[in-house]
Amino acid sequence: RLPTHLRAEAADSLYFEAQCRLEDPVYGCVGLIFLLQQQIHSAESQLIKTQAEIAVMKSQTQHPQTQPFRAISGSNNLLLQQSDNDANLSFSNQVSSGFI
């Protein structure tokens, strides 16, 4: 015998299975279960693909590709000129102090 507190749930389950059988006489609720399993599989595949894309993007931001040296225009060029001036100043100080 089915316990009293589970009878309403059992009746709902029987009703659902009967409705599924009316809509799909061959497979009944098994067809619906199969469809839901396919949707779950599709969602899991999409999740794996998205996680892989995120991992690739994270690795690209953590390890940006190095590019060959090239001339820089604009405000960055000023920084290069400043570095060159500092190097020249350091070199001229060494020359004037007799180290070279």
pLDDT at 63: 75
| Cα 100 from Cα 98, distance rounded (Å) | 6
Q: How is residue 17 written in tokens?
A: 């299975």
The answer to whether the beta carbons of residues 20 and 31 sit under 8 Å apart is yes
| Residue range 60-73: mean pLDDT, rounded | 66
Residue matched to tokens 């693909």: 49
Confidence of residue 21 (pLDDT cuts 50, 70, 90): very high
Find, among 7, 2, 28, 27, the residue nearest to 17 by Cα: 28
